[in-house]
Amino acid sequence: MSSPFPGMNPYLENPIFWSEVHNRLIVNLADSLAPLIPPQYRVAIEQRTYLSDESDSVLVGIPDVAVFSQNKVTKPTSSTVTFASTSEVVTVRMPVPENVKESYLEIREVATSYVVTAVEILSPKNKRAGEGRKAYERKRKQVLASTTHLVEIDLLRGGKPMLFLGEVPLLDYRILVSRGDRRPLAQLYNFSVREAIPSFPLPLQSEDTEPLVDLQALLSGVYERARYNLAIDYSQEPVPPLKEEDAVWADTLLREQRLRNN
């Protein structure tokens, strides 16, 4: 069964599904690009690894309290002074660092291993304060300071969008295509939950024909093959919730397709 939404399905942003969606989309994107790029290139799936500190809830060097001790002093009722001591042991949660692996694509020149294009699909950790965002921002700065092209795909409404300059009203989702030979200028594909995901050319070397990436078709294929229609409860609101006007639109859409009761 196909997705009921014309573009990005907002229910796939739920953390329950997103990690799987991200991994499937990366692999499908790599496989779809391989026959479209010239033979001197290959598509590599790379991984960025870091320890996430987002679960840290206390300052370094200040431990959580594990044992509370109180000494109670009773006033003497006679010539004997007595002390009553009580100790309470409680269970607390420790901020255990998470070993995170994030996949991304690189279009490499086979003869030189030069990275022509880096393709990133953002994760929730990239858009929240913490080590995930820091790790991605370091990678982003390195690419933007080089001649490598950057394609940055953001299919998540939550979190803080990545930085770019200019007064552009941001919609729900965006695709940024930054060509190494045209910086600081870049192309921004800005679209809402009500629109299909726009196709975009994959930047390569100037003399090469650039394939058109149909991300909408790839995501639709992921949705169908993974059978997300069996896992998603469309009677509930998506996570994160839609804006009020979009929620009304989505409700009508889902009722028309009999995925919600009228």
DSSP structure string for 130-141: THHHHHHHHHHH
Residue 48 vs residues 51, 101, 238: alpha-carbon distances, Å: 10, 6, 29
Question: Is residue 70 domain-resident?
Answer: no
Distance between the two ends of the chain, CA-based, in angstroms? 21
Question: Is residue 1 domain-resident?
Answer: no
**Per-residue model confidence (pLDDT) at position 80:** 55
Nearest to 175 by CA among 158, 187, 163: 187
**Per-residue model confidence (pLDDT) at position 84:** 58
Q: Low-confidence residues of the chain, pLDDT below 50?
A: 56-74
Overall number of domains in the chain: 1
Domain that holds residue 227: 10-58+94-256
Question: Is residue 63 domain-resident?
Answer: no
Question: Is residue 116 domain-resident?
Answer: yes
Question: Is residue 81 domain-resident?
Answer: no
Residue 73: beta bridge partners?
83
Tell me if 168 sits within 8 A of 190, measured CB to CB.
Answer: yes
pTM of the model: 0.83
Question: Is residue 75 domain-resident?
Answer: no
Question: Is residue 79 domain-resident?
Answer: no
CB atoms within 10 A of CB 154: 19
Alpha-carbon span 13 to 155, nearest angstrom: 8
**Per-residue model confidence (pLDDT) at position 96:** 76
**Cα angle: 104, vertex 232, 174; to 5 degrees:** 40
Question: Is residue 180 domain-resident?
Answer: yes
Nearest to 44 by CA among 115, 149, 112, 95: 115
